[in-house]
Amino acid sequence: QVTLRESGPALVRPKEPLTLTCTLSGFSINTTGMCVAWIRQPPGKALEWLARIDWDGDKYYSTSLKTRLTISKDTSKNQVVLTMTNTDPVDTATYYCARIFGFKDAFDIWGQGTIVTVSS
């Protein structure tokens, strides 16, 4: 069964870094054509694409957030990690990781999401 599961802190203090982990099951990030992205959704608001990493190591970042984001993959653990620096209360959101495979740029499988609150 293909699944993605996000994990990370529920609460982060402003200006502290946020590290989120996406654990992949049922597929490998090393498979040719496989990509994983991070998307977030502030409470009551729309989805916002953050970053993407491809099987070959290519990385892509949101234009507005690229100075604060780092995406990486740990192939031995089959995980994708997103780090966000200098957090702010506006970064409070549900963070999703999603797979991109077989449907061009479509996010075909999503994790259940993890809620992150940035507050002092």
Partner 1 sequence: QSVLTQPPSVSGAPGQRVTISCTGSSSNIGAGFDVYWYQQVPGTAPKFLIYGNNNRPSGVPDRFSGSKSGTSASLAITGLQAEDEADYYCQSYDSSLSGSVWVFGGGTKLTVL
| Using rule CB under 8 A, residue 27 touches partner 1 | no
Applying CB under 8 A, among 1, 46, 90, 120 the residue interacting with partner 1 is 46
From 7-15, 40-48, 73-81, 82-90, span contacting partner 1 (CB under 8 A): 40-48
Give min distance, CB of 49 to partner 1, in A.
4
Give min distance, CB of 67 to partner 1, in A.
12
Separation of alpha carbons 25 and 42, rounded Å: 26
Separation of alpha carbons 15 and 107, rounded Å: 30
| Using rule CB under 8 A, residue 37 touches partner 1 | yes
Amino acid at 84: M
Separation of alpha carbons 34 and 107, rounded Å: 11
| Using rule CB under 8 A, residue 67 touches partner 1 | no
Nearest CA to 120 out of 15, 8, 7, 18 is that of 15
Separation of alpha carbons 85 and 67, rounded Å: 9
Interface with partner 1: number of residues (CB under 8 A): 22
Give min distance, CB of 94 to partner 1, in A.
9
